Amino acid sequence: MNADWTGGPDQLFEADEQRRETAQRFRDAEVPLIKLWTYYYGLGGDADEMSLDAYLNEALYLPATQVGLIATAMTELTAAEDE
């Protein structure tokens, strides 16, 4: 996995916003980290649990594809809990 950031200032701003929103959704949903990571990994995610934790605590950037998988995992997990 390559978590290096190579985007420009506008992309960096968007990435920060998306990370903050995802982190807030994670905290609000009170989903255990291991449950989110397991679901995300099952969708094809390749970040380890520690990297996911760092991302959700706004300490690490992840590639857009991984961010999309995290968002999908959050959406599907919270939808399943609402049913």
pLDDT, one tens digit per residue, over 13-33 is 787 788 888 889 899 999 999
Q: How far apart are the C-alpha atoms of 49 and 73, rounded to whole Å?
A: 14
Q: Which residue has the higher pLDDT, 8 or 30?
A: 30
Classify the C-alpha dihedral 1-8-65-58 as positive or negative.
positive
Q: How far apart are the C-alpha atoms of 35 and 68, rounded to whole Å?
A: 17
Which H/E stretch holds residue 47?
none
How much of the chain exceeds pLDDT 90, in percent? 45
- The per-residue pLDDT for 5 is 47
Which H/E stretch holds residue 38?
helix 33-42
